[in-house]
């Protein structure tokens, strides 16, 4: 039986998931569908406030431009799968999520983008390997700025590399490499609230140079380190924080 579900039906289904953002955009990058989680996290009241608008209209320039570039990659045929990102919204603390985007193909042609962003959940403490993986987590927390070999991490957990990767995803929803990136970006965000130079922060957090730091930070946070610092300064001075997405 050939059964298909429409974007309208998916939108309604995803309305019931407060920790998942769902969206569809057309070939011009305008939203055609958005679940209520996205609407709320944008600080808006109803779906019609989102539909028909683009990311460059809904978000500050630094982030809107980054998201639009990502969408163009998908429209050209690229698939983005479980990309680790930090999302910041007006009424929520920065939150980590995994974003998936795929080309929306209709009759053999790419007509838009369909995607979800799901909040990163808590580790599964009931998993049989949780305690062993805890040794890996503690090691990464201490050595996040170093070049850590996956084989070293596997040895700490007394697992093969393949087993480590598989169990790590089940417990933390991330690969060891993604967790190290998360730790590095979290520390960088913390330091950007201070007065250190961007270059010094990048080196302290394990990036080879300022360019590598800026690329990874923008890919993860949606803005450059300098833009994030400016936003943090504006927030500390009591000015309204920009309406920054919990979904892209």
pLDDT tens, per residue, the chain with 248 residues: 556 788 999 999 999 999 999 999 999 999 999 999 999 989 999 999 999 999 999 987 778 888 999 999 999 999 999 999 998 766 566 789 999 999 999 999 999 999 999 999 999 999 999 999 999 999 999 999 999 999 999 999 999 999 999 999 999 999 999 999 999 999 999 999 999 999 999 999 999 999 999 999 999 999 999 999 998 888 776 654 443 333 44
- The CATH class of the 8-119 domain is alpha beta
Name the residue ranges covered by the structural domains of the chain: 8-119, 130-173, 181-236
181-236: CATH number: 1.10.10.60
pLDDT (tens digit, 9 = 90+) per residue, 8-34? 999 999 999 999 999 999 999 999 999
Q: Is 243 exposed, middle or buried (0-12, 13-18, 19+ CB in 10 A)?
A: middle
* 231, 96 contact by CB (below 8 A): no
Question: In residues, how long is the chain?
Answer: 248
- Name residues whose C-beta falls within 8 Å of residue 195's C-beta, 6 or more positions apart in sequence: none
CA dist 232 and 5 (Å) reads 42
pLDDT digits (tens, 9 = 90+) for 191-229: 999 999 999 999 999 999 999 999 999 999 999 999 999
Burial class, 123, CB count within 10 angstroms (exposed 0-12 / middle 13-18 / buried 19+): middle
Q: What are phi and psi of 205, to 5 degrees?
A: -95, 10
């Amino acid at each position: 039986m050939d059964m298909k579900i429409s974007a309208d039906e998916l939108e309604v289904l995803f309305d019931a998931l407060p920790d998942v953002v769902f969206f569809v955009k057309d070939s011009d990058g305008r939203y055609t569908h958005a679940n209520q989680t996205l609407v709320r996290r944008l600080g808006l009241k109803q779906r019609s406030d989102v539909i028909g608008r683009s990311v460059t209209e809904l978000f500050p320039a630094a982030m809107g431009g980054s998201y639009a570039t990502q969408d163009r990659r998908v429209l050209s045929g690229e698939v983005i799968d479980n990309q680790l990102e930090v999302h910041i919204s007006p009424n929520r603390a920065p939150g980590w999520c995994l974003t998936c985007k795929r080309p929306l193909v209709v009759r053999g042609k790419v007509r838009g983008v369909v995607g979800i962003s799901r909040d990163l959940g808590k580790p599964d403490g009931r998993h049989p390997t949780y305690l062993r993986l805890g040794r890996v987590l503690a090691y990464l927390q201490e050595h996040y700025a170093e070049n850590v070999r996956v084989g070293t991490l596997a040895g700490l957990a007394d697992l093969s590399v393949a087993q480590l990767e598989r169990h790590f995803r089940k417990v933390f929803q991330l690969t060891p490499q993604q967790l190290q990136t998360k730790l590095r970006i979290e520390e960088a965000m913390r330091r950007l609230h201070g007065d250190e130079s961007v270059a010094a922060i990048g080196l302290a957090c394990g990036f080879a140079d300022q360019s590598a730091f800026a690329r990874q930070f923008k890919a993860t946070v949606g803005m450059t380190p300098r833009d994030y610092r400016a936003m943090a300064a504006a927030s500390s001075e009591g000015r309204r924080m920009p309406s920054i997405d919990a979904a892209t």
